[in-house]
């Protein structure tokens, strides 16, 4: 097994899950700032009245905003070649539709990316990772409005111009295919129904009213926005590598019943292929469109002009998050999985994390080969992968997270095999390389990091950082370019 020379080893976070400082230096509110914490049994709740004494995990998060130098030095100590984070749109345009960008926000990212470069770390930047400015959610219905396309393009080109010599790798939208499912309505495309906006009581995010027609139109607008940014980005710097980013989940039929096979195929088409085809191939998948129409979606919003734009604005690389696989069956009464908003049926061959996410390293190889066959030649990067687990701090401060090492080792092994089997994989950034707030539950004790952060679900903790056992292990993995696992 051989990882190519120059393979981009690293880690990933997102601004809203790590920075904190949610109103500092002119930052405006973003979609993520309106979510209270939850836990494994209680979903996060949407509560757009910022009330004192309620705990909104994104507001302080792990205070990366003030700790970034220390954190980047730790990443460098592990030997990171790349660090994936997002720019919080609401630091740059606090309301999304402001006339001028906020210089303090621009300066923060400039300093942070400069710090990365100082350590020889290449930034990999997500332009929108659940951070749509709140004003756009509230007054524009998120990406359902065509105006939001222009606002996003203006924001994206502003930062691309500013960082054109600091950042080479860009991702237009995090997990864009989340919007193919109801849970992607709020976090993904920033769509909230009027009655939910007026709530005076917190609403579980899973209970927010779904508006499928508007949600798919908003997703289409994100495709258009992404295509424009790819085109404009290449004018700003022809060396930019601009990618799409999807949640990838292998779906397996639970039984050989042909009905299970067909149901699985349909899920694959809508969940895994629909968005990738538009962003990589530049056109809609005709089978996917028909499937949408069967769900009652009127797809006449796709114009000839739009089709030409999508064709022109295809991405340079395909990136995805990978955590688990799921099964599908038409039979009633099968045991379902818990999990990151995404329901599925339990696979008797797999174990799951404490949060019910089914651990499936071979699924990653399956997926990599699937993507590489569907989009031949496009460079691929796994930009999220990891195990959310509870860590115990020993009396001497050490943290023995062998379970995390086991998880990552088995996934890296499968990536190596996938490379040997022909997959053009160019990089790997583990999720939450430093502990961050969980996106789905708002918890702090669902930890992914190599670096522990002393911060807890009730908002206590002094933000101190410490190295887990996995820190030393990953350092060795990078130093040996994936040989010494
Ligand atoms: C992905 C998101 C990330 C991240 C990850 C882990 O869906 O892109 O933001 O949080 O999942 O999920 P969680 O934090 O819910 O454990």
Q: Which of 40, 358, 440, 448 to mutate to test the pocket of ligand 1 (most atoms within 8 A of CB)?
A: 440
Q: How far is the CA of 237 from the centre of ligand 1 (A)?
A: 30
Token pair belonging to 301 = 């919003």
Give the predicted TM-score (pTM) of the model: 0.97
Measure the CA dihedral 338/340/345/348, to 10°: -80
Can 305 be counted among the known catalytic residues? no
pLDDT of residue 339: 47
Q: How far is CA 216 from the centre of its chain?
A: 19
Q: How far is the CA of 334 from the centre of ligand 1 (A)?
A: 26
Domain boundaries, the chain: 8-479
CA dist 181 and 241 (Å) reads: 28
Fold of 8-479: TIM Barrel (3.20.20)
User: Which among 456, 350, 326, 330 is positioned nearest to 410, based on CA atoms?
Assistant: 350
**Identified catalytic residue from 19, 115, 141, 175:** 175
Are 454 and 463 contacting, i.e. CB atoms less than 8 angstroms apart? yes
DSSP 271: I
Helix axes 361-374, 402-420, angle to 10 degrees: 30
In this structure, the residue with its CA closest to atom 10 of ligand 1 is 439
User: Which among 156, 382, 207, 184 is positioned nearest to 275, based on CA atoms?
Assistant: 184
Q: Give me the residues paired with residue 327 across strands.
A: 252, 345
With a threshold of 0.90, tell me whether the complex ipTM lies above it: yes
Question: How many other β-carbons are positioned within 10 Å of the β-carbon of residue 303?
Answer: 11
Q: How far is the CA of 465 from the centre of ligand 1 (A)?
A: 21
pLDDT of residue 38: 77
Per-residue DSSP letters for 439-472? TTT--SSSB--SEEE---TTS-S---EEE-HHHH
pLDDT along the chain (485 residues), means of 10: 92 98 98 88 86 89 98 98 98 98 98 98 98 98 98 98 98 97 92 93 92 98 98 98 97 94 94 96 97 96 98 98 94 64 82 93 98 98 98 98 98 98 98 96 96 95 98 98 97
Q: Give me the residues paired with residue 204 across strands.
A: 45
Per-residue DSSP letters for 97-145? S-SS--HHHHHHHHHHHHHHHHTT-EEEEES-SS--BHHHHHHH-GGGS
What are the backbone dihedrals phi and psi of residue 466, each rounded to the nearest 5 degrees, phi first? -145, 160
pLDDT of residue 340: 46
pLDDT of residue 32: 96
């Amino acid at each position: 097994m051989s990882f190519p020379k120059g393979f981009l080893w690293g880690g990933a976070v997102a601004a809203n899950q790590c920075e904190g400082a949610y109103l500092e230096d002119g930052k405006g509110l973003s979609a993520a700032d309106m979510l209270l914490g939850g836990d494994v049994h209680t979903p996060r709740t949407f509560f757009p009245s910022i009330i004192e004494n309620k705990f909104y995990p994104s507001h302080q998060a792990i205070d990366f905003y003030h700790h970034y130098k220390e954190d980047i030095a730790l990443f460098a100590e592990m030997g990171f070649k790349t660090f994936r984070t997002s720019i919080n749109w609401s630091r740059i345009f606090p309301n999304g539709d402001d006339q001028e960008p906020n210089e303090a926000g621009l300066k923060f990212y400039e300093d942070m990316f400069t710090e990365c470069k100082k350590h020889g770390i290449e930034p990999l930047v997500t332009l929108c990772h659940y951070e749509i400015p709140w004003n756009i959610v509230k007054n524009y219905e998120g990406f359902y409005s065509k105006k939001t396309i222009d606002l996003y393009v203006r924001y994206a080109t502003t930062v691309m111009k500013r960082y054109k010599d600091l950042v080479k790798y860009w991702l237009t939208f995090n997990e864009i295919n989340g919007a193919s499912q109801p849970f992607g309505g709020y976090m993904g495309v920033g769509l909230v129904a009027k009655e939910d906006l007026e709530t005076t009581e917190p609403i579980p995010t899973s209970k927010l009213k779904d508006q499928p027609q508007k949600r798919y139109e908003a997703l289409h607008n994100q495709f258009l926005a992404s295509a424009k940014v790819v085109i404009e980005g290449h004018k700003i710097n022809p060396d930019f590598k601009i990618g799409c980013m999807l949640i990838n989940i292998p779906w397996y039929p639970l039984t050989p019943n042909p009905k299970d096979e067909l149901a699985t195929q349909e899920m694959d088409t809508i969940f895994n292929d629909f968005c990738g085809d538009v962003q990589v191939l530049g056109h809609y998948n005709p089978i996917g469109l028909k499937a949408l129409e069967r769900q009652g979606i009127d797809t006449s919003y796709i114009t000839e002009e739009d089709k030409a734009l999508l064709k022109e604005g295809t991405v340079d690389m395909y990136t995805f998050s990978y955590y688990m696989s799921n099964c599908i069956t038409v039979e009633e009464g099968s045991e379902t999985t818990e999990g990151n908003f995404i329901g599925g049926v339990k696979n008797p061959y797999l174990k799951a994390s404490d949060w019910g996410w089914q651990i499936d390293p071979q699924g990653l190889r399956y997926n990599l080969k699937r993507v590489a066959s569907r989009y031949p030649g496009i460079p691929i990067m796994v930009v999220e992968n990891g195990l959310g687990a509870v860590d115990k701090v020993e009396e001497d401060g050490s943290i023995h997270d062998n379970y995390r090492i086991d998880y990552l080792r088995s996934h890296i092994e499968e990536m190596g095999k996938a490379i040997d089997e022909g997959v053009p994989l160019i990089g790997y950034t583990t999720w939450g390389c430093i502990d961050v707030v969980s996106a789905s539950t708002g918890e702090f004790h669902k930890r992914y990091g190599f670096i522990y952060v002393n911060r807890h679900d009730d908002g206590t903790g002094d933000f101190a950082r410490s190295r887990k056992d996995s820190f030393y292990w990953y350092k060795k993995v990078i130093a040996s370019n994936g040989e010494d696992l």
